[in-house]
Copies of this chain bind each other. A is one copy, B any other.
Amino acid sequence: MNVDHIGIATQRIDDSLAFWRDALGLEVTATEDVTEQGVRVAMLPLGDTRVELLEPLSEDSPVGKFLQKRGPGVHHIAVRVADICATLARLKENGTRLIDETPRRGAGGCLVAFVHPTSANGVLLELVQHD
């Protein structure tokens, strides 16, 4: 397991880059619109993981609602696992509340599933299995 990425909710990616890129020195390697999640994602590698800046494409998207409720900040933590189905089975066995009981396709063809924050200390946790 490893941290795949840290998703950070932001009103406008362009404004956020003043800190993450210009001040801290990270580089934007890709930007992608994930229309089914209603979010624009800028990817900034950071060692073996990356920061993902998340800008809502609409106010009623998950990130749009998060911003209205909590304001900008860490939206989710994504953990890379070798076998997402085995991980989900173990979590379920331990009584973990899952948002996705079975994995779905994420960006770049990955398999992803979310754990509910009530089971993970208030953290929205994403599991990611790369091909």
Interface residues of chain A, those whose CB is within 8 Å of chain B, are 1-3, 6, 8-10, 16, 18-20, 22-26, 46-49, 53, 70-74, 77, 79-80, 87, 90-91, 94-96, 117, 119-123
- The answer for the CA separation of A122 and B49 in the assembled complex, in Å, is 20
Contact of A2 among B10, B47, B74, B119 (CB under 8 A): B47
Closest to A8 in B: B121
Not counting A8-B121, A19-B120, A49-B49, a sample of 9 additional A-B residue pairs whose C-beta atoms are within 8 angstroms of each other reads A1-B24, A2-B49, A6-B77, A10-B121, A24-B87, A25-B90, A47-B48, A73-B123, A74-B122
Which residue of A48, A91, A94, A123 has the most chain B CB atoms within 10 A of its CB atom? Answer: A123
When distances are taken between beta carbons in the complex, the residues of chain B under 8 Å from A2 are: 46-49
A-B contacts, 20 of them at CB < 8 A, read: A1-B25, A2-B46, A3-B3, A3-B6, A3-B49, A6-B77, A8-B121, A9-B121, A16-B121, A18-B94, A20-B121, A22-B94, A23-B95, A48-B49, A49-B49, A53-B121, A73-B74, A73-B117, A73-B123, A74-B77
Q: Check B1 against A46 for contact (C-beta < 8 Å).
A: yes
Dominant SS among interface residues on chain A: mixed
